[in-house]
Structure 1
Amino acid sequence: MGNTKLFKRLKDIPFVYHSYLNLKNSINNALYTDYAFCRKTYKKTHGEYPNIDLPQTFSEKLLWSMFNHRDQVYIQCADKFEVRDYVKRKIGEEYLINSFGVFDHVDSIDFRSLPNQFVIKATHGSGWNIIVEDKDRENISNIRKRIRYWLKTNYFEFNREWPYKYMKKRVICEEFIGEERGTPPEDYKFFCFNGEPKLIQLDIGRFTSHKRNVYDTEWSRIGGVEIAHEQDENNIYPKPKNLKEMIDVARKLSEDFNHVRIDLYNVQGKVYFGEMTFFHGAGSAEYFRPKEFHLQLGEWFDLPSENINSWMRNDG
């Protein structure tokens, strides 16, 4: 059995997998400061160390922002529950996915009262999601174990993104808005700069053969570039009929920030808010190819102020 297959098998054993993650984080925390850890990760991803002092690429500017700028609203907007108030105020609650409740203890979740299909998300992390396709066929015990791990773990330890360090540990249960057989909806990610969407990343088959197509705001596919995954060259994904609405939503949600990625879903012509991300790929863990493309995104990114006297400038 190859290492990849073995790792996937271990992920299905919660105690073993969580013990592995705890050990990995403990070793990294002992060996690397936040700054050194991000430099090491960038080197592994891009093949060279980042120039954080004089950043040029998009990822270098993300790292500069991580280490030189703080704003409490980042914490609210990166939190999967707290951001709902921000979205409601900016664009209205009709864009929010229906919630069945938010919980800070796994024993507070009454699985019997939840519908047959639903989604569980950790509000204080990224990628900590469980799609329940058929509640009667799920291993609820394993789901509880995963949630318990989330609720006692600070996601900050994984990639050193400072907003996660200060979030309350909770999970939110939401309505499943994908296809009936459990396929999640396509994910539209709008890279916004100074309140203006400039690039759209379409995530395809996120839980199977993950690919990412890249489009401009007119829905012309930008060939020859990659964002951590190859593009799907074999299929045509039609321009959403309500693309203008999606762009308007992304514009309104991003207007207060130098840069933020706005993730949206489009299900049967209805737009739903997904999440807001300030440090794509934690600033160091996802590549952009070719380098000219990486530099182009960097040119769009006007850095925020270096708020040296910030309330947490020297924290971490």
Structure 2
Amino acid sequence: MTVFGSCNMDLVAYVATPPQRGETVHGREFRTVSGGKGANQAIAAARAGAHTAMVGAVGADEFGARIRETLQRCAVDTRGLREVPGHSGTAHIVVDDAGGNSIIVIPAANGTVTAPAEGDEERIAASQSLLLQLEIPLDGVTAAAETARRHGVPVVLTPAPAVELPASVLDRVDVLVPNEHEAAVLTGHHDPEQAMRDLLKRVPEVVITMGDRGSFYGNRAGDRIDMPAYPARAVDTTAAGDTFVGVLSVAVATGVQRREALRRASAASALSVQRNGASSSMPTAREVDEFLAAATGDR
């Protein structure tokens, strides 16, 4: 599996309640954690058991070195992670006591990822799937998706941060995984069923994630799956969506049936929100297996 996307250093402040405009509040803790939607999904996929390669860019700074080290420690292949002059991307995150978060992303080195570099086409061609997000320039996303299409590699896209997407991107996507807000931006529909119908005119398969209300799957054959979320006491939801997508993509790429793939992704997401941090919160395949074995009810 190859992930083509962003790498950031997350600068995380934990507070009781987030500040309003013009307000200063006291925080209780501060952490720096390797993140970025691309790196997060790569780590989630690797911990789910997939051989995973990360393609992207970091700056020639301390953050870049730490991001690379974190990925390597999590068994992610970083030969496609290039170093460029200047700063690595950063995400400035405020996490409140309810587990909610607000995030400001500064792309920096991620802004240089406008096309596959030397060796990237071979990495993508050898993969079971390609994972994409929107924290790098749209030109880079389009070029990577086109590369995957030429080699018959399925493309999974998380359309975040949410923007309207042209047909040049969506025509190359096999599985689209937006959250409710992103689905509404793409379609203008806040109702998940209406958004699903609209999105399936553009891509073959869609999974809409809905936080503690679970996820909703559909395809052009008319199949629909409602997957409830597993109960979890959330302490930090920062990487829940990336965990879900990484685990889902591994399950799909290895031929797991869609319902079981959604179960595994939902379980992994429930585990991640009970831990602080982004990449540091993601469960292993064994932890997901143990969680599902202990869960009550037949999903």
TM score, norm. by length of structure 1: 0.26
Larger radius of gyration: 1
Greater RCO (Cα-Cα under 8 Å, separation 6 or more): 1
- Higher strand content, 1 or 2: 2
